[in-house]
Chain A
């Protein structure tokens, strides 16, 4: 007489056989799932793009949910949307072997539904390749896109995004930044302390060029190359915190008197950061500026506070203290706007009550784009 003593291996075989039976039964009861692909719905209120080094992450600021990704080149200065055609436009630059090889600069066009490239237009390989929002601008009539070049002299490539053709390259020595005004014009800031207005004709070629009088000194107190739209034009700000509103009337350039963001006794504070530190709600006339304590030449220091300014009364209405220094901000243009802040993570604030609503996990954002 003998006993069969189960070994460890035989116990395992027995259990495996039992699980296999259970699994077959489980599969028999459930319909196998099929993979599907989402289509992006029409952008809702307070949707925005978080433009990063590898693409544009689209979020709903109200829920914090990500909606999809635009894959962009690492050299893309900015991406912008044009709702009437349901398209996104981005200037991109590629090297055929990643870090060497043939360079190809393009304007890529993406559709709203799939965030996929649907067309591309080759442009001169002169793009400035810096993540600056105002290095690319869609004219207000939605027909022509302007892309800033550096080679190392400044020029601007004009692209017809409706007919999908490159139009021409305008030489703009000493002037950079693209600020669309009127239907098909744009303003630039120039190193001699002036503004330049370039007016395009229906085909996108330069029809007229005007220069303003000198209103700042680039050595004493330069105007930043970061700007934001106002109700009628653009707000510019200097290293020392002087704000100017610039508008046009046909071929006339109007520059408001400058006013300083610093109340008396708080001269130690300065505007600035490494990215887009000024934004404005156009209907409410509120300007939001990232501020830090520092001296001359600290203009790229990220800020510990956001100052909210009333453009009409030219007075500060709020100081928002931040838990971590901010590099980039954008206010959405809705009636109940959100203030999106990049620093240590991406944070959403109510832009009127300044209550922190949520933090969103995103890779480091260069800047944000309202949708």
Chain B
């Protein structure tokens, strides 16, 4: 058996399986059902990169300056809570055993090293007693509770198994001039 025959048989196998699967789907599902599921898939794929949780993983390295255990650290311009960097975590990681909340409030902070403004996501770490160290309450761009995406005073332990507040981290989502 030469190589061409192997390729032909492989293509035939793929074609045949695709045909059989398509026929089986066509028997089971209506065209409208198929289109709606395809639409959901496409919309989900398009929306996924927009989610703040996903965007935070896309950040490049950022030049840092200052003390992350100080309330005056540049990332904390719209921070309200206690600093995870003083509680066994860091400005991007929760302390041991705490559960990060996927839902956050946001702010815009200027990094003095490169002079750029960064969109910040403030994630609460949850499920443990409050870590009463390094309390910090900065209100740059803070808005009242009815405008909750920019409200720092809200307890943001949503979507977590336990809803008690432990401390807060500050993640860069991206530069505002990007």
Q: A residues touching B (Cβ–Cβ < 8 Å)?
A: 95, 98-101, 103, 128-130, 132, 150-152, 154, 174-177, 188-191, 218-219, 222-225, 274, 297-300
Question: In whole angstroms, how far apart are the Cα atoms of A190 and B144 in the complex?
Answer: 10
CB of B110 closer than 8 Å to a CB of A:
no
Question: In whole angstroms, how far apart are the Cα atoms of A299 and B151 in the complex?
Answer: 12
**Residue on A with the closest CB to B161?**
A100
Q: Are B129 and A130 in contact (CB under 8 A)?
A: no
CB of B148 closer than 8 Å to a CB of A:
yes
| Closest-CB distance, B87 to chain A (whole angstroms) | 14
| Closest-CB distance, B106 to chain A (whole angstroms) | 13
Question: In whole angstroms, how far apart are the Cα atoms of A177 and B128 in the complex?
Answer: 29
Q: Are A300 and B139 in contact (CB under 8 A)?
A: yes
Most buried by B among A130, A188, A191: A191
Question: In whole angstroms, how far apart are the Cα atoms of A154 and B142 in the complex?
Answer: 18
On chain A, the residues within 8 Å of B153 by CB distance are 130, 300
Closest 5 CB pairs of A and B: A176-B146, A225-B144, A191-B147, A100-B162, A99-B164
Known: A150-B154, A152-B154, A299-B139. A100 touches B146 (CB 8 A): no
On chain B, the residues within 8 Å of A177 by CB distance are 145-146
Q: B residues touching A (Cβ–Cβ < 8 Å)?
A: 103, 127-129, 137, 139-148, 153-156, 158, 161-164
Q: Are B162 and A152 in contact (CB under 8 A)?
A: no
**Residue on A with the closest CB to B144?**
A225
Q: Are B144 and A223 in contact (CB under 8 A)?
A: yes
Q: Are A174 and B164 in contact (CB under 8 A)?
A: no
Q: Are B139 and A298 in contact (CB under 8 A)?
A: yes
Q: Are B145 and A95 in contact (CB under 8 A)?
A: no
On chain A, the residues within 8 Å of B128 by CB distance are 99-100
Question: In whole angstroms, how far apart are the Cα atoms of A128 and B162 in the complex?
Answer: 15
Q: Are B162 and A101 in contact (CB under 8 A)?
A: yes
Question: In whole angstroms, how far apart are the Cα atoms of A176 and B151 in the complex?
Answer: 12
Q: Which of B139, B154, B158, B164 contacts A130 (CB 8 A)?
A: B154
| Closest-CB distance, B156 to chain A (whole angstroms) | 7
Q: Are A218 and B148 in contact (CB under 8 A)?
A: no
Q: Are A154 and B139 in contact (CB under 8 A)?
A: no
Question: In whole angstroms, how far apart are the Cα atoms of A130 and B148 in the complex?
Answer: 13
Question: In whole angstroms, how far apart are the Cα atoms of A225 and B137 in the complex?
Answer: 17
Interface of chain A, main secondary structure = loop
Q: Are B144 and A99 in contact (CB under 8 A)?
A: no
In the assembled complex, 21 residue pairs joining A and B whose CB atoms fall closer than 8 Å, in A order, are A95-B164, A100-B161, A129-B155, A130-B145, A150-B145, A152-B158, A154-B148, A176-B144, A177-B145, A188-B146, A189-B144, A189-B146, A191-B147, A218-B143, A218-B147, A222-B143, A222-B144, A225-B144, A225-B146, A298-B139, A300-B137
Question: In whole angstroms, how far apart are the Cα atoms of A371 and B40 in the complex?
Answer: 56
| Closest-CB distance, A13 to chain B (whole angstroms) | 52
Question: In whole angstroms, how far apart are the Cα atoms of A36 and B154 in the complex?
Answer: 43
Q: Are B129 and A99 in contact (CB under 8 A)?
A: yes
**Residue on B with the closest CB to A223?**
B144
Q: Are A95 and B103 in contact (CB under 8 A)?
A: no
Question: In whole angstroms, how far apart are the Cα atoms of A300 and B147 in the complex?
Answer: 16
Question: In whole angstroms, how far apart are the Cα atoms of A272 and B142 in the complex?
Answer: 13
On chain B, the residues within 8 Å of A129 by CB distance are 155
Q: Are A132 and B145 in contact (CB under 8 A)?
A: yes
On chain A, the residues within 8 Å of B156 by CB distance are 152
Q: Are B146 and A190 in contact (CB under 8 A)?
A: yes
Q: Are A99 and B147 in contact (CB under 8 A)?
A: no
On chain B, the residues within 8 Å of A190 by CB distance are 146
On chain A, the residues within 8 Å of B144 by CB distance are 176, 189, 218, 222-225
**Residue on B with the closest CB to A153?**
B148
Q: Are A130 and B127 in contact (CB under 8 A)?
A: no
Question: In whole angstroms, how far apart are the Cα atoms of A273 and B6 in the complex?
Answer: 78
Question: In whole angstroms, how far apart are the Cα atoms of A274 and B30 in the complex?
Answer: 58
Question: In whole angstroms, how far apart are the Cα atoms of A177 and B140 in the complex?
Answer: 22
**Residue on A with the closest CB to B140?**
A297
